[in-house]
Amino acid sequence: MICQECHERPAALHFTKTVNGEMREVYLCEHCAQEKGEHLFSGHPAFSLNNLLGGLFNPEPHFASNPSFHQKEIHCENCHMTFQQFLQSGKFGCAQCYQSFDSKLSSILKRLHGGNTIHHGKIPARMGGTLHLQKELQQLREQLQEMITNEHFEQAANVRDEIHALEKKLLDEGGVQ
């Protein structure tokens, strides 16, 4: 998606604005979001995406009583970023940071994701039924292949039957296999 303001850079910020009951989706690049910050965020021109993420992940108000947040500062073995640096910037230094900060992130992610620590993605409601079935079918096919490779033929037969049932259900709902 391209920025709706400059029509040049890729959009990095998506939000829905409701005014007088009318919903409007806005897609902006980081540059335009910073320029329009005072209009978008009620007079806070210093607002940035990093501030937003840093505020969401700031554990102090919510986790001050949790002893694990007051232990020795941990850091990523790969990029050497500390958890405190992550909180200030709102960005990880590398992909390894997820594993390095896992012990501190799980409680934060539970808070952000309504108690869940795994994100399953967002699927439109009008297509959700068949997409979920297709995804489950793909997972079962992978599981079946693994069972055959490991010579677990009895379990593979059960998975095969589940696959056939799902394929029938997909055909009944008009989904593509």
SS3 1: coil
Measured on CA atoms in the order 42, 43, 44, 48, is the torsion positive or negative? positive
Indicate whether 92 and 137 sit together in one domain. no
pLDDT of residue 117: 67
pLDDT of residue 116: 67
pLDDT at 25 > cutoff 80: yes
Indicate whether 69 and 106 sit together in one domain. yes
pLDDT of residue 104: 80
Indicate whether 99 and 133 sit together in one domain. no
pLDDT at 43 > cutoff 90: no
Indicate whether 108 and 56 sit together in one domain. yes
In a domain, 135, yes or no: yes
Indicate whether 107 and 58 sit together in one domain. yes
Range of the domain at 98: 52-112
In a domain, 9, yes or no: no
pLDDT of residue 121: 64
In a domain, 74, yes or no: yes
Indicate whether 107 and 143 sit together in one domain. no
pLDDT at 103 > cutoff 70: yes
Instruction: Provide the pLDDT confidence category of residue 51 given band limits of 50, 70 and 90.
Output: low
In a domain, 71, yes or no: yes
pLDDT at 144 > cutoff 90: yes
pLDDT at 16 > cutoff 50: yes
Lowest mean pLDDT segment, chosen from 17-21, 34-38, 88-92: 34-38
In a domain, 36, yes or no: no
In this structure, the dihedral spanned by the alpha carbons of residues 112, 117, 118 and 123, taken in order and rounded to 10 degrees, is: -30
pLDDT at 61 > cutoff 50: no
Indicate whether 105 and 151 sit together in one domain. no
Q: If we measure between CA atoms, which residue out of 2, 28, 23 comes closest to residue 13?
A: 28
In a domain, 119, yes or no: no
Q: Which of 112, 144, 159 delimits the end of a domain?
A: 112
The total domain count for the chain is 2
In a domain, 90, yes or no: yes
Indicate whether 100 and 134 sit together in one domain. no
Q: Which of 61, 87, 112 delimits the end of a domain?
A: 112
For residues 84-99, give the mean pLDDT. Answer: 83
Quote the tokens at residue 117. 């620590």
In a domain, 104, yes or no: yes
